[in-house]
Structure 1
Amino acid sequence: MSHTPTVTVRYTQAISQAAEKLGFALPDRLKTAFAEQDRVELELQGEIWETFCQQADDPLIGIQFGLTLQVGHLDTAGMVLMSCDTVTEALDSLMDYYPIVGEGGTFEYSVHNDICEIRYEPQYSTRQPERVEAALASLLQLSRWSTGEQLQAQHMTFTHPALDEPQRYKALLGLPVTFASQHNSLCIPASALKMPLIYANPALCQHLRTLADQLLAQLGSQSLSANVSHLLRQHPNWGKEKVADHLNMSGRHLIRKLSDEGTTFKLLRQALLQNMAEQALGEGLKLVDVADQLGFSDESAFAKAFKRWTGMTPAQFRET
């Protein structure tokens, strides 16, 4: 069965509400198509974005939309982020639960020296620049709101060229923006990772995590890659068979299902371990602790793997 990525209907409803505030409405055909759904297929979401952008007639409508997005539009994942204790905990939760909001893109973050870079990689083509800008603008808005405006992001980067005058980006976002970059990213000070969130509620957060885990499970094969990544983040030393057993399937079936989604267990595990390793090294953890955290037998085994992934030794990575 082929993979069919979806987006929460709440995010889609936010687009419809934004259109009405701008003085126009999405066609009834599109509104009817998602009115009774919990999840909206990515193809339909593309149609909605195309119509929304055409009617808005503003090259920076993605930025405008992202800055007005509310926590409720991010479904249970947004509520989890809001109730976390610190920025770090919220980022880790974002890595676990972003598929609940939408499976059209992936998030990852890494810490290097005094910068924490949160990257977004889209997996769609329709109105990609506008949608990427919406995703990062909403992340910026959420970071400010959840810290009582205390978190001051440093800059934002996009892989696409500017859609309007660069100074307009800076005026809207309140930070420098770089275009035609290697990654789509929001960069914040590493020192902000320990910053407390103003709506932190550990008991509520734990309850919401349980609900979010259930939602991820209900996505089933549509988010198998995300489920595997979620398990590996919690248990980086787990192999294919252990993960498959936890998901109540055989290793062979897991391989087939991941192949349907265009990936492999090896690629998922390597990407996750590399991201976790770069983050840990950037935070200054000792090599022995990083190796142990990621399930390697010793420092030497970890160092060899890290050089294979990045072309650098851990020491060289820390010096860059």
Structure 2
Amino acid sequence: MMVAAVSVAPGWDHPRAAAAARILVEVGTERGMTVGACLAGSGLRAEDLVAPGFQLEAGQELTVARNLIRALGDSPGLGTEAGRRYTIASLGIWGYAILSSPTLREVLRLGVRYAELSFAFIQPVLEESGAEVAVVFDDEQIPADVRDFFVERELAKIAHLLPVAVDPRHRVRIETRFTGPRAAALAAVLGDVSLRSGAPRHRIVVQRTALDASLPHADPIAVRELEAQCLRTLEARRARRGVAAHVRSLVLAELDTGPTMARIADYLHIDARTLRRRLRAEGTTYRELVDEVRAAIADELLAAGLTLADVARRLGYHDAAGFSRAYRRWTGTAPGRSRR
């Protein structure tokens, strides 16, 4: 068996366009939430979601998803509702490259190689074995409280867009560990794509004999230029992002649980000493970054009217008193004054 994967840690920690967060807000507001409630604690404003070229951190999108789950519950179908709203256009250059691919083999290659340009929180891994080829969705690094939601969203997105790029006669199936109502929600949007629920892993599986068949929107010349644009976009995003930006995103994603430097260093596949040294080279420290994130989110949540106890819980403090002491250390004022 051949396995091809890129080692990044965690797989979802990369900047992304605002389209996915905008879709989450659409789902939330259609179910009775306000835009402010959807974005609470994310550091995002409504105008950010429609600003051309705006990029956000994965931790911010994760916060929006948590807001939906807190308000609406992690009910089967919520991720599917978000996933079926995607279009090829919402995926940008990456989506158009996949649409222009000459063969299913190229679709899989581009999908895995440039997954950072998608909004996925799963890590795709290409496997070839016998008569079948599969893209396995590794979800182990997704925080447990949002894992099912993001996997459901990703599978629904693929099921919704796959028939646009791939001839339905190519026998593609989706396998999922989900059963019961969550599998039923996915099945409702699959169309001609078959679903196997209760599987050992989340996968997209195709027959090897279908890999080189021509696709309906094939444009070999266009796909070369689009892939070059994908590479330039990916390199530009990585170049603008230092270690401190990685840490901010990961701290925001783990804020509810009080993230330690050792845990964040593990995510980045380095030891705590190396992380400390790299942050110092960028003119900051781990504690400063954590305080910076907490202070900004605290101000936002207090302005939204949350109680001190609610804000303390969202920021990983055991009680309001501990949060109040920390807030005074960050800002020199009491959180009650900021709330007023």
Aligned partner of 2:62 in structure 1 is 46
Aligned partner of 2:197 in structure 1 is 178
1:187 corresponds, among 200, 205, 214, to 205
Q: CA separation of 1:222/1:104 partners in 2, compared to 1, >3 Å: closer, same or farther?
A: farther
- SS in structure 2 opposite 1:149? coil
Q: CA separation of 1:202/1:55 partners in 2, compared to 1, >3 Å: closer, same or farther?
A: farther
Aligned partner of 1:132 in structure 2 is 151
Higher Cα Rg, which structure: 2
* 1:116-166 Cα deviation digits (max 9, x unpaired): 2111123321411110111122222222111243334234123xx536265
1:204 aligns with 2:222: yes
* 1:83-133 Cα deviation digits (max 9, x unpaired): 111111111111221101247332122232222211112332141111011
Letter in 2 for 1:132: V
8 Å contact 1:60–1:163 — kept in the other structure?
A: no
How far does residue 213 in structure 1 lie from its aligned partner after superposition? 0.9
- SS in structure 1 opposite 2:126? strand
How far does residue 56 in structure 1 lie from its aligned partner after superposition? 5.0
1:164 aligns with 2:184: no
Q: CA separation of 1:40/1:166 partners in 2, compared to 1, >3 Å: closer, same or farther?
A: same
- The 5 A counterparts of 1:32-181 are 32=45, 34-35=48-49, 36=51, 38-55=54-71, 58-102=75-119, 104-122=121-139, 123-125=141-143, 126-158=145-177, 161-162=178-179, 164=181, 166-173=183-190, 175-179=194-198, 181=199
1:5 corresponds, among 14, 25, 32, to 14
* 1:44-63 Cα deviation digits (max 9, x unpaired): 11111122345555422212
How far does residue 260 in structure 1 lie from its aligned partner after superposition? 7.6
**CA RMSD, Structure 1 to Structure 2 (Å):** 3.4
Letter in 1 for 2:207: P
- The 5 A counterparts of 1:252-291 are 261-262=268-269
Aligned partner of 1:299 in structure 2 is none
TM-score of the aligned structures, taking structure 1 as reference length? 0.60
Q: CA separation of 1:199/1:22 partners in 2, compared to 1, >3 Å: closer, same or farther?
A: farther
8 Å contact 1:111–1:117 — kept in the other structure?
A: yes
Moved more, 29-38 or 116-125: 29-38
Q: CA separation of 1:188/1:55 partners in 2, compared to 1, >3 Å: closer, same or farther?
A: farther
Q: CA separation of 1:90/1:128 partners in 2, compared to 1, >3 Å: closer, same or farther?
A: same
TM-score of the aligned structures, taking structure 2 as reference length? 0.57
% identity of equivalent residues: 14
Alpha-carbon distance in structure 2 between the residues aligned to 1:200 and 1:23? 42
- SS in structure 2 opposite 1:68? coil
Q: CA separation of 1:259/1:56 partners in 2, compared to 1, >3 Å: closer, same or farther?
A: closer
- What number of residue pairs does the alignment pair up? 227
Aligned partner of 1:245 in structure 2 is none
2:234 corresponds, among 211, 216, 221, to 216
Q: CA separation of 1:222/1:87 partners in 2, compared to 1, >3 Å: closer, same or farther?
A: farther
Alpha-carbon distance in structure 1 between the residues aligned to 2:211 and 2:112? 15
8 Å contact 1:10–1:75 — kept in the other structure?
A: no
Letter in 1 for 2:232: Q
What stretches of structure 2 of length at least 5 have no aligned partner?
Answer: 1-8, 243-264, 272-340
Q: CA separation of 1:220/1:54 partners in 2, compared to 1, >3 Å: closer, same or farther?
A: same
